[in-house]
Amino acid sequence: MAGYNRTDRYDWLAHQLFETISKVEDFAAHRLWTSNREQPNMALSGITPKQNLTMMA
């Protein structure tokens, strides 16, 4: 998960209780997917990274 925001990762790890490493991996993958596609990014003027890629194509 190179490039994934360490502060965000520590934040959700501190607030979740996981039964297995597999569940941690699934949760992390979902968080990363959501962050990269659905969450507005202020560095991109409040649009999502996916919208930014679409506009650049």
Token duo for residue 45: 């003027």
Alpha carbon separation from 8 to 4, 5, 53 (Å, rounded): 8, 5, 23
Q: Is residue 17 part of a domain?
A: yes
Q: Within 10 A of 24 (CB to CB), how many other CB atoms are there?
A: 14
Count the domains in the chain: 1
pLDDT at 2: 41
Those residues whose C-beta lies under 8 Å from the C-beta of residue 35, and which sit 6 or more positions away, are 5, 8
pLDDT at 27: 87
Residue 3 confidence class, pLDDT cut points 50, 70, 90? very low
Q: Is residue 1 part of a domain?
A: no
Q: Which residue has the higher pLDDT, 5 or 27?
A: 27
Residue 4 scores a pLDDT above 70: no
| Per-residue model confidence as pLDDT tens digits over 14-45 | 778 889 999 988 988 888 888 777 777 777 88
Residue 38 lies in domain = 6-56
pLDDT at 48: 83
